[in-house]
Structure 1
Amino acid sequence: MTRNLPTQAARIAEDISALAEITEPGRPYTRRAFTPMFLRGREWLVRRFEQAGLETRIDASGNLIGRRRGSIGGKTIMLGSHTDTVPDGGRFDGIAGVSAALEVARALNDQGITLRHDLEIVDFLAEEVSIFGVSCVGSRGMAGVRPDAWLERSADEMTLREGIAEVGGIPGKTEKREDIAAFLELHIEQGPVLEDGKLDIGVVTAIAGITRIEIIVDGRADHAGTTPMGSRQDALTAAARVVIGIEELGTRLSRGQFHFAATVGEFSIEPGAANVVPSRARLLVDARAERRADMETFVTELAALAAAVTAETGVAIEPPVTISDNLPTPCDEFVLNTLDAAAVAVGARHRRMASGAGHDTAWMARITRAAMIFIPCLGGRSHTPEEFAETADVALGAAVLLEAVQRLDRGL
């Protein structure tokens, strides 16, 4: 479908292509936070912000911010995402959202529109898991919830404190923003729902809570050739029953109205020799739920599953231990309604949906009305060099943001 949009796909394509070229040699689209390539990308982005007439600064948390002043000021509508990548990651994860936000500012310039509110475009620092093993560093800092202890985490002969200072932040300064009236983020879906449904926009209702659970299975090491099959306490076979049970439990919960997924993402056994019956297995479960009640059901039934496998096999399984637990983040209903109306206004086919992945929006929702939109990505693939989104889809998403910003500017 050909659309006459107020946003320009060519400018967006230039943004994405230029940042894609700033990558580690031989590693397509690798620009991790706190690395020289990330700093080069930031230098390019600063120039791009300035070309759009934005007043550009780095805040205390290391976020790059460009401001377009409003006629009244005092309150801010903020748009943005991130430009750091995972290793060997994609060209569009985060980058599409920053470019779309920047395009909103450029489109407002094209039309000679001055908003009542200040408009800020942000590139959050280290949304992806960084070299320090932590993520959403910038958005947590802006929300005033980044743990102080994180500053002493070290990697590559540098602390996080030093890394934030190197990008231009002030690591010892806490900065919880109180002036943000609303926050919007555009992101590729990182899944196949929109593409399969031939839809343009997903209006994100909530960001799933993420709970990680460790399970230890204690069997008994024996000779693999001489111990009868019926006399073993094989930690691996018991663990395999648990893994299958997790898949069945997660599948059942996913059939409900709300998003749910469970994955055994880490698995190890000891002693790891071909001729020894495994004596120990460790599982790390990643579970994600849009609705907290589903997560509570999963945790309860997982404990029951472990006990049942112990009773069946005689292999001891320690009670599952929750390693980390983040609650789901619902998006703001007023902003969601605004995004629905904006999608209709620009002719974008849309639906409401939850996000199974974490995003900076989850932290911004702690300090302001926040929501996000998804655009389709090829095959639903992400965090891979093959990640791809059509420029036209990014431009249409930017047009939805532009319409939503103007509606929020009038309605907040």
Structure 2
Amino acid sequence: MSIDQSRLWRRLETLSRLTDRDRPWTRRSFTPRFLEGRAWLAAEFRAAGLETGIDAGGNLIGRLEGTEQGLAPILIGSHSDTVPSGGRYDGILGVLAALEVAQGLIENGERRRHPLEVVDFLAEEPSEFEGLSCIGSRAMSGALTPEHLALRRADGMSLEEGIAYVGGRPQDVAGSARAPGSIAAYLELHIEQGRVLESEAKPIGIVTDIVGIRRERITVTGRADHAGATPMPLRSDALVGAARLIEAAYQKAMATSGDAQPLVATFGKIDVSPNAANAVPGEVVMTLEVRSGNEAAVSAFGGALVREVQPELDALRLKVKAEPISNVAPVACATVIRTAIADASRACGLGTRDLPSGAGHDGVFVSRLGPIGMIFVPCRDGRSHAPEEAIEPEQVADGARTLAGAVKVLDERLD
């Protein structure tokens, strides 16, 4: 397949360096820095020869028409936003490799039977809107609700306003969602975000499934008092109760580590009030995130956790409330796409390894529209969502060639 490795690497370096200066590698969705990256991407899409625009949900899409009328498009891409202080290659590898595949076809005077759409999905990473993720793919698949659009971040901006800020049309989101069966396939290239491929010296991972993710807001309420004047036996310290929940969640998740589908649980966001050195914490609001391929275990975890710790919280004179934020079921990658990836890798002389994705991806929502699949390439020491995230140019090229080959195979095999 025609892949310009130097151009692809140069683009990766250019986009990754569009980062907040004081905390690389950061390009958060719904910020001026994100718009700077989007403007650069759109210009690259147009220069490559793609018909380029932003849909109602704020997704940047470049389209290359196919040779046969009436065929649904093949979508390839990922996202360009990052988590704070991480994500130098997470997301942008998939977008820019997809662009390289499309541009290679154009430069060679080729077309596929199906239209090809290169997509930069909006806000795949958890956003400042109550941690909501995969906003663009939710919108495209009809899963972005009025309740989601009403969410607000700390500065008062609503998600509806945020989508308009990046060039989308939030008033048209519901009516412009794509229908089930409206795409022929979706394929994404991504770094593994783990150590399996690197440890086994396998250049290509074929993703079998994407885990389910549930997030809940857990509020522990006690009483704020003077830290010096309130004796220990008389305190209702909300942070102590929060600590009991955190420890219990850790132990509860650890107990599943030997299961066929282990579960992971994280309290990654905590707000303490009044958050003063001389005050007993009166309230703690935390976000619990649970992930597993076992959907039933994911759904039941938060409620079971609160019930198990409730006697300790009662003894501390604390109240606890758990509210769902989001719940995304696990999704299996389609056999037809996994087979296409395997065939393309073999044609490129690259070894493969089947493995699940422990991270969430836009494909979870795009799966409502048609079959999905993912290609993984190794990342150094498995580091991701961290400043140390790194990959090599040769690994990028291997992934891009496999992506191009899989698109060719799918184009030939799908109606």
* Alignment TM class, shorter chain as reference: 0.7 to 0.9
Q: Which letter maps to 2:380?
A: L
Q: Measured at CA, do residues 49 and 238 of structure 1 come closer, stay the same or move farther in structure 2, by a change above 3 Å?
A: closer
Report the Cα offset of residue 383 of structure 1.
2.6
Q: 1:248-263 maps to which residues of 2 (within 5 A)? A: 248-263=251-266
Q: Is the 8 A contact 1:201 1:374 kept in 2?
A: yes
CA distance in 2, matches of 1:96, 1:60: 24
CA distance in 2, matches of 1:278, 1:33: 32
CA distance in 2, matches of 1:271, 1:157: 21
Q: 1:305-324 maps to which residues of 2 (within 5 A)? A: 305-307=308-310, 309=312, 318=320, 320-324=322-326
Q: Look up the SS of the partner of 1:42 in the other structure.
A: helix
Is 1:358 equivalent to 2:369 in the alignment?
Answer: no
Q: Measured at CA, do residues 46 and 271 of structure 1 come closer, stay the same or move farther in structure 2, by a change above 3 Å?
A: closer
Structure 2 equivalent of residue 291 of structure 1? 294
Is 1:38 equivalent to 2:34 in the alignment?
Answer: yes
Structure 2 equivalent of residue 28 of structure 1? 24
CA distance in 1, matches of 2:185, 2:373: 8
Q: Measured at CA, do residues 230 and 387 of structure 1 come closer, stay the same or move farther in structure 2, by a change above 3 Å?
A: same
- The partner residue of 1:194 within 175, 197, 201 is 197
Structure 1 equivalent of residue 98 of structure 2? 101
Q: Look up the SS of the partner of 2:374 in the other structure.
A: strand
Structure 2 equivalent of residue 172 of structure 1? 171
Q: Which letter maps to 1:395?
A: A
Percentage identity across paired residues of the two chains: 45
Q: 1:2-401 maps to which residues of 2 (within 5 A)? A: 6-74=2-70, 75-109=72-106, 111-133=108-130, 134-153=132-151, 159-173=158-172, 174-178=175-179, 179-215=182-218, 239-267=242-270, 283-296=286-299, 298-299=301-302, 301-307=304-310, 309=312, 318=320, 320-401=322-403
Structure 1 gaps, min length 5: none
Q: Is the 8 A contact 1:78 1:180 kept in 2?
A: yes
Q: Is the 8 A contact 2:214 2:299 kept in 1?
A: no
Structure 2 equivalent of residue 409 of structure 1? 411
Q: Measured at CA, do residues 252 and 197 of structure 1 come closer, stay the same or move farther in structure 2, by a change above 3 Å?
A: farther
Q: Which letter maps to 2:410?
A: L
Q: Measured at CA, do residues 214 and 158 of structure 1 come closer, stay the same or move farther in structure 2, by a change above 3 Å?
A: closer
Report the Cα offset of residue 305 of structure 1.
2.3
Q: Look up the SS of the partner of 1:49 in the other structure.
A: helix
Q: Is the 8 A contact 1:259 1:354 kept in 2?
A: no
Q: Is the 8 A contact 1:184 1:372 kept in 2?
A: yes
Q: Is the 8 A contact 2:248 2:309 kept in 1?
A: no
CA distance in 2, matches of 1:91, 1:117: 31
Structure 1, residues 215-259: CA drift from partner, whole Å, max 9, x if none?
455678899899998898766555544433321221122321224
Please identify, of 151-160 and 80-89, the stretch whose mean Cα deviation from structure 2 is larger.
151-160
Please identify, of 276-285 and 138-147, the stretch whose mean Cα deviation from structure 2 is larger.
276-285
Q: Look up the SS of the partner of 2:255 in the other structure.
A: helix
CA distance in 1, matches of 2:152, 2:235: 44
Please identify, of 17-26 and 95-104, the stretch whose mean Cα deviation from structure 2 is larger.
17-26
Report the Cα offset of residue 386 of structure 1.
2.5
CA distance in 2, matches of 1:27, 1:393: 26
CA distance in 2, matches of 1:112, 1:374: 29
Q: Look up the SS of the partner of 1:362 in the other structure.
A: helix
CA distance in 2, matches of 1:226, 1:21: 51
Please identify, of 290-299 and 135-144, the stretch whose mean Cα deviation from structure 2 is larger.
290-299
Q: Is the 8 A contact 2:220 2:321 kept in 1?
A: no
Q: Which letter maps to 1:200?
A: P
CA distance in 1, matches of 2:273, 2:217: 16
Please identify, of 129-138 and 37-46, the stretch whose mean Cα deviation from structure 2 is larger.
129-138
Q: Which letter maps to 1:46?
A: A
Please identify, of 291-300 and 184-193, the stretch whose mean Cα deviation from structure 2 is larger.
291-300
Q: How many pairs does the alignment contain?
A: 407
Please identify, of 27-36 and 111-120, the stretch whose mean Cα deviation from structure 2 is larger.
27-36
CA distance in 1, matches of 2:334, 2:236: 51
CA distance in 2, matches of 1:64, 1:398: 20
Q: Measured at CA, do residues 244 and 404 of structure 1 come closer, stay the same or move farther in structure 2, by a change above 3 Å?
A: same
Q: Which letter maps to 1:62?
A: G
Q: Is the 8 A contact 1:217 1:315 kept in 2?
A: no
Report the Cα offset of residue 331 of structure 1.
2.3
Q: Is the 8 A contact 2:125 2:134 kept in 1?
A: yes
Q: Measured at CA, do residues 397 and 319 of structure 1 come closer, stay the same or move farther in structure 2, by a change above 3 Å?
A: same
Please identify, of 219-228 and 98-107, the stretch whose mean Cα deviation from structure 2 is larger.
219-228
Q: Measured at CA, do residues 198 and 222 of structure 1 come closer, stay the same or move farther in structure 2, by a change above 3 Å?
A: same
Q: Is the 8 A contact 1:7 1:396 kept in 2?
A: no
CA distance in 2, matches of 1:363, 1:283: 26
Q: Is the 8 A contact 1:214 1:322 kept in 2?
A: yes
Q: Is the 8 A contact 1:235 1:315 kept in 2?
A: no
RMSD value, Cα: 3.3
CA distance in 2, matches of 1:50, 1:293: 45
Please identify, of 212-221 and 253-262, the stretch whose mean Cα deviation from structure 2 is larger.
212-221
Q: Measured at CA, do residues 303 and 148 of structure 1 come closer, stay the same or move farther in structure 2, by a change above 3 Å?
A: closer
Q: Measured at CA, do residues 324 and 82 of structure 1 come closer, stay the same or move farther in structure 2, by a change above 3 Å?
A: closer
CA distance in 1, matches of 2:129, 2:325: 18
Q: Is the 8 A contact 2:198 2:381 kept in 1?
A: yes
Q: Is the 8 A contact 1:82 1:123 kept in 2?
A: yes
Structure 2 gaps, min length 5: none
User: TM-score when scaled to structure 2?
Assistant: 0.84
Please identify, of 5-14 and 235-244, the stretch whose mean Cα deviation from structure 2 is larger.
235-244
